[in-house]
Amino acid sequence: MIWIKAKRVIKAGFVNFWRNGWISLATVLVIVITLFTIGSLIFSRAILGSMISQIQDKVDISIYFKTDAEESDILALKDSVSKLPEVKSAEYVSAEQSLENFKERHKDNALIMQSIEELGENPLGAMLNIKTKETSQYDSVAKYLESQSGTAGGSMIDKINYYQNKKVIDRLSKILDSAKTLGTAISVILVIISIIIAFNTIRLAIYISREEIGVMRLVGASDRFVRGPFIVEGVIYGVISSIIAMIIFYPLTLWLGPMTDNFFSGINIFQYYVANFGQIFLILLLLGVSVGAFSSYIAVKRYLKV
């Protein structure tokens, strides 16, 4: 019996969806817009996230060693720095490599190249490039290195460039922090607004059927039997809308992909779409279905009082 009733409710939901025609179409359209907004936020966050991590990646501390520093001492310092919990990576660049890099960078400048040739020996020392997990952690790492410079191993340090860059780094981490907070706040507000719009649209769609709901009650239908098809309809709205939204994102991201790739260098929005297709679809589907079902439930409840 339960199976028969469930079958009737589900069938009635589909039939109502189909026969309501324009109302169903309009409701789906509004939910598509809602889900599209939310999907766009997911993509924006991905872009913002990749931008932030890229900027963060460009920030590092370089430690320049004196030319007479022993390689083994430097490597020992590198090991101890790597063990710090804040440090993400420490890269050792030998004196020869530094020179190579320098030559590579200035290969078009004949004067510099000539000077190097004339100098005969390598004027550059080895260096360590250190990256931390958060931009705010550079200060403590710099302090640690500072404290090391008093020791035997530390005396080989020529210069730590953090103090030259301190202001820029501080400012950057502040900007990144506020960008994250602002992004989250805007997302939350947009999500709430779009869900409220979808919710009200479904309520309006059911408002049209309010008399029918009363008739069903008078004919002897239980609350559940009246409500069931409306909830099924709400679920159908959600499923169809999430599929449409995902389909719209395909050509859109395909078109925007190269642009994002050039502009933000590092993230191609289309590749992101393809790579995270399942996850994004699941989020939109769950959101659409729950908004649809919940709105229907609330809306029908109002007219079930007969």
If you ran DSSP here, which 8-state letter would residue 61 be given? E
Q: Is 207 in the site for another protein (CB under 8 A)?
A: no
DSSP string computed for 218-273: HTT--HHHHHHHHHHHHHHHHHHHHHHHHHHHHHHHHHHHHHHHHHHSS--HHHHH
| 110: contact with another protein by CB under 8 A | no
100 lies in the site for another protein, by CB under 8 A: no
Tell me: does residue 212 bind another protein (CB under 8 A): yes
Stretch 8-47: interaction string toward another protein, x if CB under 8 A: x------xx--xx---------------------------
Edge-first strand order for the sheet with 127-132 is: 87-93, 127-132, 61-65, 157-160
Instruction: Report the nearest approach of another protein to the CB of residue 215 (Å).
Output: 5
Stretch that binds another protein, among 129-137, 186-194, 217-225, 239-247 (CB under 8 A): 217-225
Among 216, 240, 269, 299, binds another protein (CB under 8 A): 216
What is the nearest approach in angstroms of another protein to the Cβ of residue 294? 22
| Interface with another protein, residue 217, by CB under 8 A | yes
3-class SS of residue 21: coil
Alpha-carbon distance of 187 to 249, in angstroms, equals 18
Question: Which span (52-60, 71-79, 107-115, 209-217) binds another protein, by CB under 8 A?
Answer: 209-217
Among 120, 150, 220, 278, binds another protein (CB under 8 A): 220
By CB under 8 A, tell whether 3 contacts another protein.
no
Contact call for residue 222 and another protein (CB under 8 A): yes
Distance of closest approach, residue 19 Cβ to another protein, in angstroms:
5
Kindly state whether residue 96 participates in binding another protein, applying the rule CB under 8 A.
no
Return the residue of 221, 239, 243, 283 that touches another protein, per CB under 8 A.
221
3-state helix, strand, coil in the chain (%, to 5): 75, 5, 15
Residue 207 structure tokens: 């408002």
Of the residues 186, 189, 193, 215, which one makes contact with another protein according to CB under 8 A: 215
Q: For residue 109, give the 3-state DSSP assignment.
A: coil
Q: Who's near 55: CB < 8 A, 6+ residues apart?
A: 172, 176
- Stretch of residues binding another protein (CB under 8 A), selected from 83-91, 133-141, 213-221, 283-291: 213-221
Residue 4 lies near another protein (rule: CB under 8 A) = yes
Q: What is the β-pairing status of strands 61-65 and 157-160?
A: antiparallel
Give the CA diameter of the chain: 104
Task: Determine the Cα–Cα distance for residues 65 and 113; give it in Å rounded to an integer.
Answer: 22
Residues at the contact surface with another protein, assessed by CB under 8 A: 1, 4-5, 8, 15-16, 19-20, 211-212, 215-223, 225, 306
